[in-house]
Chain A
Amino acid sequence: MDKKPVRKTPGGVSRRDFIKGVGTGALGTAVLPRLFAQDAIATKKGRVPVFDSKAVTLTVNGSPKTLTVAANETLLDVLRNRLELAGAKKVCDRGECGGCTVLLDGVPVYACMFLAVRADGRSVTTVEGLARGGKLHPVQEAFVENDGYQCGFCTPGFLMTTAAFLEKNPSPTADEIRQALSGNLCRCGNYAKITKAVAAAAKMKGA
């Protein structure tokens, strides 16, 4: 394996891996001084400011949080490592499984693929913010009642995807549910129960 075993794939380095990797490892250190020696670079759309860290304000589960994030820090790492919100999980760390799904202004995003700086001024909802005032969200209740999980590790991702999906489509068909959940992987293989739980949640919300 390479000296950067985590992020460098045999096929090369993706743009997103590159951005995440800047500032670390051999690749980052080679490019970094030149890039950050200037405060802006010219692009087709004009000069774009360059920074290695930036103060951002996020509204997380309703509370404003101001913190300085590194340019290459993902939203997932900020939530898990700095805001003590470990609900969103790091499963694949490359946008393949949905375990890190959070809502950004109500829209599900893979937090492992989303740079924290891009969330500046926006509203983030994690699984910890789904229940309101001690009362479970119908989706949470339905997952418990219908055993919509086994080990529970992928569950926060499924819950967030489902919550956003049911806002958009309050009375989905079974096929629509399967389609909506297809970006979330459950290794315990509990999909059959999960889709039931989602259908039950739709009913509860409708009631």
Chain B
Amino acid sequence: MDAKYIGKATPRVDGRKVVTGRAEYTHDVRLKDMLFGMILRSPHAAAEVVSVDLAQAKALPGVLAALSLAEGRVRYAGQQVAAVAAVDERTAEKALGLIKVDYKVLPSVVEWEKAREPGAPQVREAKPNVEKFSEAARGDVEKGLKEADAVIERTYRTAFEVHNPAETHASVAAWEGERLTVYDSTQNVHGVRDGLARALKVPAAGITVIKHYMGGGFGSKLGLGEHTVVAALLAREAGRPVRVALSRRENGMCVGYRPSSFQTYKAGIKKDGTLTALSLVNYASGGIDYGDEVLEPAVDLYRIPNVKVEEFSVFTNTGAGCACRAPGNTQGMFGLEGLMDELAAAIGMDPLEVRRKNYTTRSQGDTGLPYSTKGLDLCYAAGAKAIGWERRNRRPGEGSGPVRRGIGMSSSLWWGTGVPGTLADIVLYPDGSVEVVSGTQDIGTGTRTHMAVVAAETLGLEPKDIVVNVGSSDYPWAPASGGSVTTPSVAPAVREAALKAVARLKQVAAGKLKAKAEDVLMDGRRFFVKGAEDKPVAWADVCRSLRRETVFHGEAAAYPQDQYAFNTFGAHFAEVEVDLETGKVRVLRYVAAQDSGRIINRQTAESQVVGGITQGLSAALFEERVLDSATGRSVNPNLRDYKIATSLDIPEIEVIFVDVVDERLNILGAKGLGEPARIPSSAAVGNAVFNAIGVHVREIPMTPKRVLEALKRKEAGS
């Protein structure tokens, strides 16, 4: 594609709005007569709510609505029990203190290790705490292990990671008669609208959900939140708009987190690097809900003839986990890629060479459909070159001195190939202005800008010429901004709509030029006939002739999923320094190579990758939600005790796109990027630490304590 904007770096079209503080986030919405809602939450991990007395709260001056939300049992500390709406936050807070709840406390279990034990308090009614929820098998693992020259068994653990978006979950609900408008900090305006319709039993046609700007979600804002329903119910009762914005503390306890994993692998490898068999047993914990399946990397990524996976969810009396940027594959990749490096060490082979040796061009470990495109090999080559792979320790931990350096890497595998049926419209106005509109959302990834880029490229305009409208459920349908689907869903729809607009404009211009439409060329706001560039008609004249605004519909087309596997790939390389005396890890340098098809806007794409690296580094070294095992309450539901990376922790970062355009996937050959850039980052840091110190920590976050314990394990020779 000979492109002016697509694939180049374009600054965000709404940049000025954001940096001047004028971008409107849900937190910033202040409607006339708006009340402040707050939610009373259970202090107990398991209890029967015997009664809820709202009388005193309702009697407090300034309180305009109070609701009981209890449904018999509470199953985690932080579950909603009642709610109030008042004229200001202080009054609402005071009113919560006046609600009398009578609890009958029940036995509870908070730690998943304890929930597995026989006789543990039962979390779900009439269902066991441990439930198999995922499995896969091919070949014969026992036979495969016998063929191996080396067999190792390893357990890798990942922690509960809290999304902690900068903007806590928040909704503002306002009724006008039967019509409901909700401003919501959400990744999914259409999904929240449909969810509200079901929850409130009102027609979806009478609900509008709006999200102009959102302060991060990372998967925790993919669906209808309980607090959103509460806002709508309080608003209905009070007859005034109600805002419910969760506190940071609530954010740490009640709206999800990345479920933990406890992955035990047994695998065999031949001396030449051929993998012969792999078994995986995972215990995932997502509180009162299922955990994440981690099997995808193990099942798909490498040519392993014999595979067996069993995954179990362990239920506990803690809030439900939810999708967190690349759910499952992030945990699974930490386990699988750690295992790959340990297997490589067992036979004394270059870990990258082991990956190449078992490379596949078909999915499901070479037993499934052929990948439509797979640029993982290009990522390996480009990343290895950029990091200086040859500088790594040939034998993990072979350096000397109290501070050791190491280089490690990890692969990435994800879907992120778009949702057919996604809609976008181009609207041409008689004054020559252009609007592109879709009910998608820009969650900070630069969706508005990529839409402007695609529209401008196609229409021969500049991105700043395009008015972009997103973030309302009244706009044409688009999926949730999750699963890395936004770009490959929305960009092709915009492209299709814009191509239709161009065809129409050429037709109108042809009339004016007295030529055939197919002979008309468009360039720089002018239309002309080949060879007669000196006699053009202007963009403005052509648009004026449309006489009214004219809408062109675009829709993301289906792709042949029955013939090909469509995936995104990547490879990350990290260089670290580990202090053997303190156990402290520092990431010095980082290279990410991504295969996400055609990149639409290099500027925001690069930021996505930088963010994926940083979040993965942060999870690898710092992040872990800690619960009090007796009460089930979080002891770090804030940003001081829940550690996230700061500017001081960030290495030098290089981002590479290998630009493998997938023509079968969509008309732009573009794929998703957000999650592919997060999947390998914790694993790459983990493997770099292994390369530095000669023992794999096998558990994230790799706190100094865990690093020192791993070093002790190494000394003990296990």
Contact = CB atoms under 8 A, between A and B. Distances in A.
Interface of A: 1-7, 9-10, 23-26, 80-81, 84-94, 96-97, 99, 126-128, 130-131, 136, 140, 143-145, 147, 149-156, 159, 177-179, 181-182, 184-195
Interface in B6-64: 11-12, 15-16, 18-25, 27-28, 30, 38, 40-43
Interface of B: 11-12, 15-16, 18-25, 27-28, 30, 38, 40-43, 77-78, 88, 90-91, 93-94, 96-97, 99, 164-168, 213-216, 218, 247-250, 253, 443-446, 603-604, 606-608, 610-615, 618, 628, 633, 635, 638-640, 644-648, 650, 652-653
Given A1-B43, A185-B639, A192-B653, A147 B603 contact: yes
Contacts of A3: 40, 96-97, 99
Contact of B248 (A25, A86, A91, A130): A91
Contact of A128 (B20, B165, B614): B20
The winner among B21, B41, B90, B216 for most chain A CB atoms within 10 A is B21
Contact of B167 (A87, A88, A153, A192): A153
19 contacts: A2-B43, A25-B94, A25-B97, A86-B24, A86-B25, A89-B167, A94-B639, A136-B16, A140-B16, A140-B19, A143-B15, A149-B19, A150-B608, A151-B167, A152-B444, A153-B214, A159-B19, A185-B644, A192-B652
B444 A182 contact: no
Contact of A187 (B11, B88, B216, B653): B216
Given A91-B167, A150-B444, A191 B647 contact: yes
Contacts of A86: 21, 24-25, 27-28, 30
Contacts of B168: 91
Contacts of A177: 647
B25 A24 contact: no
Nearest to B217: A151
A184 B216 CA distance: 16
B618 A155 contact: no
B445 A150 contact: yes
Nearest to A93: B248
Given A91-B166, A187-B165, A191-B650, A127 B21 contact: yes
A10 B250 CA distance: 14
A4 B97 contact: yes
Nearest to A11: B635
Given A93-B247, A143-B19, A150-B611, A178 B633 contact: no
Chain A at the B interface: SS class? loop
A92 B639 contact: yes
A5 B249 contact: yes
Given A1-B253, A89-B166, A151-B216, 16 more contacts: A6-B93, A7-B93, A81-B30, A89-B25, A96-B640, A126-B21, A144-B15, A150-B445, A151-B443, A154-B166, A155-B19, A182-B647, A184-B647, A187-B164, A187-B216, A188-B607
B650 A178 contact: yes
A192 B614 contact: yes
A191 B248 contact: no
B216 A156 contact: no
B647 A1 contact: no
B79 to A, nearest CB: 10
Contacts of A1: 41-43, 77-78, 249, 253, 633
A190 B167 contact: no
B30 A84 contact: yes
Contacts of B618: 189
A203 B647 CA distance: 20
Please provide the 5 A-B residue pairs with the shortest distance between their CB atoms, ordered closest to farther. A87-B21, A189-B614, A153-B215, A151-B444, A144-B15
A193 B607 contact: yes
B610 A92 contact: no
A4 B638 contact: no
Contacts of B23: 152
Contact of B18 (A84, A92, A155, A190): A155
B249 A10 contact: no
A128 B650 CA distance: 29
Contacts of B249: 1, 5-6
Nearest to A149: B18
A89 B170 CA distance: 13
A10 to B, nearest CB: 7
A188 B647 contact: no
A171 B365 CA distance: 53
A151 B93 contact: no
B615 A189 contact: yes
A75 B133 CA distance: 50
A151 B652 CA distance: 22
B639 A91 contact: yes
B607 A190 contact: yes
A186 B649 CA distance: 12
A195 B42 CA distance: 42
Nearest to B164: A187
A154 B27 CA distance: 13
A190 B646 CA distance: 10
B216 A188 contact: yes
B306 to A, nearest CB: 38
